[in-house]
């Protein structure tokens, strides 16, 4: 649960930065959000979730 919330917050911040700095239009942000919602309901969603969890474990294991 914490991973999914932090992932949503991170992606939200990235979209906000693109919106403010790189000229992302509001319509593009809406399309990105709708794409995410529709992608979450497809059969590939578990694979995307597993890949995200694997990436989080990989990044969490890096010692600086």
Q: List per-residue pLDDT tens for the chain, 64 residues long.
A: 455 566 677 777 888 888 788 787 888 878 788 778 887 888 888 888 888 889 888 888 888 7
Q: In the prediction, which pLDDT does 38 show? A: 80
Report d(CA 31, CA 58) in Å as an integer.
Answer: 30
User: Whole-angstrom distance between the N-terminal and C-terminal Cα of the chain?
Assistant: 25
Q: In the prediction, which pLDDT does 1 show? A: 47
Q: In the prediction, which pLDDT does 9 show? A: 74
Question: Model's pTM, two decimal places?
Answer: 0.56
Q: In the prediction, which pLDDT does 15 show? A: 80
């Amino acid at each position: 649960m914490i991973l999914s919330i932090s992932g949503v917050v991170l992606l939200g911040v990235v979209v906000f930065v693109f919106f403010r700095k790189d000229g992302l239009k509001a319509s593009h942000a809406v399309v990105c959000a709708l794409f995410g919602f529709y992608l979450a309901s497809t059969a590939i969603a578990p694979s995307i979730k597993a890949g995200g969890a694997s990436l989080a474990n990989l990044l969490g294991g890096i010692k600086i």
